[in-house]
Amino acid sequence: MLNKVLIANRGEIAVRVIRACRELGIQTVAVYSDLDRDALHVRLADEAYALGGQTAAESYLNTEAILDAIERSGADGVHPGYGFFSENADFARAIIESGTTKWIGPPPEAIEVMGDKISARLAAERVGVNGVPGTTDLITDPEQVRTFGEEHGWPVAIKAAYGGGGRGMKVVQGPGDVESALESAQREALAYFGRDECYMERYLTWPRHIEMQIIADAHGNCVWVGERDCSAQRRHQKLIEESPAPNFPDEIRQAMGEAAVKVAKGCNYVNAGTVEFLYQDGEFYYLEMNTRLQVEHPVTEMVTSIDLVREQIRVAAGEPLSFTQDDIVRTGHSIECRINAEDPAGGKFLPSPGRITALTVPQGFGTRWDGGYEAGDEISQYYDNLVGKLVVWGSDRETARLRMLRALDELEVEGVATTAPADVAILSHPDFAAGEHSTKWVEETLDLSGVGAAPAAGASADGDEAEPKVRRDVDVEVNGRRFSVSVFVPESQLAVAASGTGKAAGAGRPKRAGGSAAGGAAAGAGKVTVPMQGTIVKVVVEEGQEVAEGDTVVVLEAMKMENNIAADKAGTVKAIKVAVGDSVGAGDIVVEIE
């Protein structure tokens, strides 16, 4: 068994791995960016190492910094979580080639085959598992998309070849939307996965998204653990997942499980992974394989009583699976709600970064909370916006559904808006209760007009933020040995020290910086504001251009998602206040229209 595991990740998945390691008697090592210095995963780990930087590229995607932390800590295992380096073959290979550290994930060769969605499609076809009609050619010209759409019908899905989780995926409704959709997909793919190659396939009209959890060891054993229905989505990203899938024929379940094992064995897969399918009209189509642990793995754990993270660690240490296919028994029903820092008012799901000022999580029979934050922690615009996962188990689906509604009623999150009100709307709808929803259902059928706007994100009740800290380098002496260390001190304490008094002038928590009116409260008609902090990735209009109300004027990236910012009235663009690459805050004016 391993002795010390470094978790190359952050948030709730880092916390999840730390807890599994503790139960196995394994020491844990956290890594952190400048913004995550006081994060929950850092507080829980036995050791923690600074990566520096703020953005993902500067920190959690900084290969050199993470490899240095592995060497300095002496970790003999690395768990990548999901996202970041979890599906990066070069990073996995660097860990394995070190000779001293176990990679808690699949072989780099399997990551390479399945990480490229085109080669993954070909690999599945070689073992007799067919995907949605599409092309294996990378898109180099928008005309390719138009030709494909005319041949196979619209809409067409443009997808990141090295992506997943809905990032870098855009649906093209017709030939006139091709250029903008392709550009947006490529930008998102590059920002989130570091590569912008895209391909395309037919977009099914009313499918269900059903995925199969598999796990394999290095001794030739590979099993399918069970399926999950992840059809409640918006922007192709999951909101609610459940296991088992409702209204799902057992013969399809068996066939899908066997197909998933074929795909895994076909690429010599080892460790945990998920094979995703689309299911429509009694047929299922291979979609992709995620060569990592999935966000929604807890629902599988709840119905099987199998700790998938524990099993991952055992497999990486060279041990065989602790169970066979025949040993797996699925009992009851489990539902998971992703609690994201997004404002679902009106179905917009706008990112809502900020500080969590209060957090009360539900308790009770069959109720589980996997969280990465506590009250006082900050949800940054630079990372994924998942606050935590609320998971319940029930003896049957209806019991689980009602238990989740009870748990959501108990959940309290203040300071940021969350998707919890949308989860309630989904779970309460007769379509969901009957298991008759699809991946299109949230955006095309569910009415979220009654979901009210949340309070301004990131602010406490009096509009203040937590006091910022300032770095100071000092020398200390421990047992006669001198060390140079960095400490992070609240600004008010520095003011106290400088004044030599017991209280700084004007002491108290500083007001929100920036001077912009949150949510554009001070902006009048024709002054287009952004609803959240983020980065401008595209300016669509020019000064002097005529625009109609609702036309996109700029594109804002926040929490790795692109958001179109629209004109609030028809008129002529008078002034453009931002440029590509600019950082903006909630309420900042980006375009003026007269």
**CA dist 571 → 343, 528, 563, 566 (Å):** 29, 12, 22, 13
Taking 60 as the threshold, does the pLDDT of residue 171 lie above it?
yes
| Cα-based distances in Å from 410 to 115, 402, 424, 485, 514 | 39, 13, 12, 43, 34
Residue 507: its pLDDT value, please?
Answer: 38
Least confident of 330-334, 428-432, 462-466: 462-466
Give the C-alpha distances (Å, rounded to integers) separating 178 from 94, 144, 169, 554. Answer: 38, 10, 13, 18
Give the model's confidence band at 513: pLDDT under 50 very low, under 70 low, under 90 confident, else very high. Answer: very low
Residue 450: predicted pLDDT: 86
Q: Which of 202, 217, 244 is the last residue of a domain?
A: 202
For residue 480, name the pLDDT band (cuts at 50, 70, 90).
low
Class of residue 104 by CB neighbours under 10 A (exposed 0-12, middle 13-18, buried 19+): buried
Q: Which residue has the higher pLDDT, 1 or 454?
A: 1
Whether 458 is in a domain gets the answer no
Residue 262: is it exposed, middle or buried by C-beta count within 10 angstroms (0-12/13-18/19+)?
Answer: middle
User: Which residues are within 8 A (CB) of 311 and not within 5 positions of it... i.e. 6 or more apart?
Assistant: 215, 272, 321, 322
- pLDDT of 562: 84
Same domain assignment for residues 151 and 58: no
CATH number (domain holding residue 158): 3.30.1490.20
Tally of domains in the chain: 5
What pLDDT does 430 receive? 98
Query: What is the pLDDT at residue 463?
Result: 42
Taking the C-alpha atoms of residue 560 and residue 578, their distance in angstroms, rounded to an integer, is: 19
- Extract the tokens encoding 114: 């399945």
| Same domain, residue pair 69 and 149 | no
- Is there a single domain that holds both residue 148 and residue 61? no
Across 282-306, average pLDDT: 96
When mean pLDDT is compared across 34-43, 406-415, 420-429, 513-522, the lowest value belongs to: 513-522
Percentage of the residues of the chain whose pLDDT score is greater than 90: 76
Q: Greater confidence, 224 or 451?
A: 224
Tell me whether residue 510 is in a domain.
no
In which domain, by residue range, is 468 found? 463-477+485-503
Q: Where are the alpha helices (DSSP H) in 194-331?
A: 250-266, 297-304, 308-316
In a domain, 26, yes or no: yes
Q: Of 164, 181, 202, which residue constitutes the final position of a domain?
A: 202
Query: Does 217 have pLDDT greater than 50?
Result: yes
The answer to whether residues 526 and 573 belong to one domain is yes
Output 289 or 585, whichever has higher pLDDT.
Answer: 289
Residues 495 and 570 grouped into a single domain:
no
Amino acid, single-letter form, for residue 300: T
pLDDT reading at 17 higher than 60: yes
3-state secondary structure of 404: helix
Same domain flag for 282 and 420: yes
Coil, helix or strand for 498? helix
Q: How many helices (H) and strands (E) does the chain have?
A: 16, 32
* Domain assignment of residue 513, yes or no: no
Q: Are residues 246 and 378 in the same domain?
A: yes
The lowest-confidence range among 66-70, 267-271, 454-458, 464-468 is 454-458
Residue 558 binned pLDDT confidence (cut-offs 50, 70, 90): confident
Do 307 and 423 belong to one domain?
yes
**What DSSP assignment string belongs to 543-561?**
TT-EE-TT-EEEEEEETTE
Comparing 439-448, 467-476, 544-553, the range with the smallest average pLDDT is 467-476
CATH code, domain carrying 218: 3.30.470.20
Residue-wise pLDDT for 434-468, tens only, equals 999 999 999 999 999 888 655 544 444 344 455 66
63: domain CATH number is 3.40.50.20
- Bigger pLDDT: 476 or 432? 432
Longest Cα pair distance anywhere in the chain, in angstroms?
A: 77
Q: pLDDT, tens digit, for every residue of 93-113?
A: 999 999 889 999 999 999 999
Residue 460: predicted pLDDT: 41
For residue 491, pLDDT beyond 80: no
Which residue in this structure is represented by tokens 């539900």? Answer: 362
Residue 550: C-alpha distances to residues 51, 63, 553, 555 (Å): 42, 42, 9, 13
Q: Give the type of residue at 511.
A: K
Is residue 255 situated within a structural domain?
A: yes
pLDDT at 486: 74
Nearest-5° Cα angle at 322, 318 to 328 = 140
Token representation of residue 376: 């006082």
Same domain for 175 and 255? no
- Mean pLDDT for the stretch of residues 353-379: 97
Same domain, 548 and 576: yes
In this structure, are 140 and 192 located in the same domain?
Answer: yes
Share of the chain above pLDDT 70, in %: 89
Average confidence (pLDDT) over 11-19: 98
Q: How much is the average pLDDT of 383-408?
A: 97
pLDDT recorded at residue 481: 58
Choosing from 157, 180, 202, the residue where a domain stops is 202
Residue 175 half-sphere exposure, CB side, CA atoms within 13 Å?
10
Q: Render the burial of 34-44: b for 16+ CB within 10 Å, e for the rest.
A: ebbeebbbbee
Tokens encoding 54 = 């703020």
Q: What is the pLDDT of residues 18-57, one digit of tens each?
A: 999 999 999 999 999 999 999 999 999 999 999 999 999 9
pLDDT at position 483, please? Answer: 67
- Residue 136 pLDDT grade (very low, low, confident, very high; cuts 50, 70, 90): confident
Residue 151: which residues within 8 A CB-CB, separation 6 or more? none
What average pLDDT does the segment 206-227 reach? 97
Quick one: CA torsion of 120, 123, 128, 131, rounded to 10 degrees?
A: 20
Confidence of residue 511 (pLDDT cuts 50, 70, 90): very low
- Spatial contact of 36 and 60, defined as CB atoms under 8 Å apart: no
Is 435 contained in some domain? yes
Structural domain contains residue 432: yes
Retrieve residue 207's tokens: 């499918």
Across the chain, mean pLDDT equals 89
Backbone angles phi, psi at 35, to 5 degrees: -75, -20
Task: Name the pLDDT band for 166 (thresholds 50, 70, 90).
Answer: confident
Same domain, 317 and 349: yes
Determine the average pLDDT of the residues in 302-310: 98
Q: How far is 566 from 551, CA to CA, in rounded Å?
A: 5
Length of the chain: 594
Residue 110: inside a domain: no
Q: What's the mean pLDDT in 386-401? A: 98
Report the C-alpha gap between 414 and 49 in whole angstroms: 30
Residue 206, pLDDT above cutoff 60: yes
**pLDDT category, 431, cuts 50, 70, 90?**
very high
